[in-house]
Chain A
Amino acid sequence: MHVSRNNPRQILRLSLTPLIRGMGENAWAMPGGRASSVYQTNLLGRDDPQWTQLQLAFVQLSAGFGTVVDFDPDPDGAPELVITI
């Protein structure tokens, strides 16, 4: 999340990325590591095909609130979801 410098309580931008990958043996505790359902976790690598599904689902769900979610590459070049407020 990016907060205005002029107003420390004003949030300007919200970025969402897939979370931690590569936790080794601890991955057994993560349902997403077994890809049981795209709805159960966002623990997916950015190169995981389910991440694409997850992104689209998130965009659709947020649209229900009137929230526009854009795709934007992060500094690594991988896509992330961005909400401009």
Chain B
Amino acid sequence: MSRHGVEMMLFSFSDYGNGHDDFGSESQAATATRGGFSYLNTHGIRRLMPFGSWDRDMSGVIDAADVSELTAAAEAAGDPDASNFAEVLAFLDQGYEGTFQGSSGAMAVSEEAGDGRVTLAEFDQAHRGIEEGNMEPGWIAYVQGVAQEMANARSSDELIIATIHWAGNWSPLRGNVPMCRENGVWVMCPASPGGSEGPSWFPAAAIRETAHLLIEGGVDIIQGGSSHHLLGVEIYNGSPIIYGCGPLVDDYWHRRQRKQGPHPPPSPSPLNRWRCCTAQPCAETTSLCSTTCTYRATTRGRSCGFL
């Protein structure tokens, strides 16, 4: 992204870490490189920890991506195993200026960039709200609430990038047919936007609706992840929705080679645990944010989360 002389790049690290665990964690990341700064968001890294693979695999990736600042979120915030995060902190100490947050829902990091401000918001568990294309009760209201809070908190020169883990996980290859809602009834989506033959590589209506709501609420760019394949780009109200570009790196391939079993059943909806506190600096956070701040190594500006 070129913005007032500031360059940014977005990457997706969808589900990295799944190859090390029979019940893969949920991980997703986006990296934004801006001038001398870079962001790397990762999710689900908790499950990498016991295998010691963080250093071995990710350091090369991060170096190659020219990441100098790292922000990580994991879904294990408040979990007794959170001590595993120490490995990530040790990694950051190797010369990366980083922020590490434990988060079980979504988080946002905001920083000055050029003449304006850029906020990178990450929604870790959106897939649980739109599981296999079906929306959990309350999902729409939740998304609208998040978008509204971001809009209320933003400054006039603030660009909001949302990276969303809305999954899919090779849905067409697994024989799952995305469902679309027509006249209030869930039906199979067209095979493709143009109605061509073959499996659908088109995002389900629940995904599109979620994206549209966020754009309408004030998000400027959406980068979706965890489809693990291309899904194309839609321009909605002048804002790009990158439904899927494929991950920069994941290790699903090893998992799939080793085990072809079904995915684990979805966990109970975490919607009732999600709260938004993006507008406050961490030093002033409520107890809802305190967990996300516990693991921060350093911070560059506002940094809050959702729990």
Contacts and interface: CB of A to CB of B under 8 A. Distances in A.
Interface in A1-22: 1-3, 5, 8-11, 14, 16, 19-20, 22
Contact of A61 (B4, B19, B202): B202
How many chain B residues sit at the interface, stated as a range, is 35 or more
A59 to B, nearest CB: 9
A26 B19 CA distance: 14
Contact of A23 (B8, B61, B158, B221): B61
B302 interface: no
A2 B2 contact: yes
Contacts of A1: 1-3, 8, 10, 221, 240
A39 B198 CA distance: 14
B57 A29 contact: yes
Interface of B: 1-4, 8, 10-11, 16, 19, 57, 60-61, 64-65, 115-116, 157-159, 170, 192-194, 201-202, 220-221, 228-235, 238-240, 242, 245-253
Given A11-B221, A26-B64, A42-B248, 12 more contacts: A1-B8, A1-B10, A3-B159, A8-B115, A19-B11, A24-B60, A29-B249, A37-B229, A40-B229, A58-B232, A67-B235, A83-B235
Interface of A: 1-3, 5, 8-11, 14, 16, 19-20, 22-26, 29-32, 34, 36-37, 39-43, 54, 57-58, 60-67, 69, 83, 85
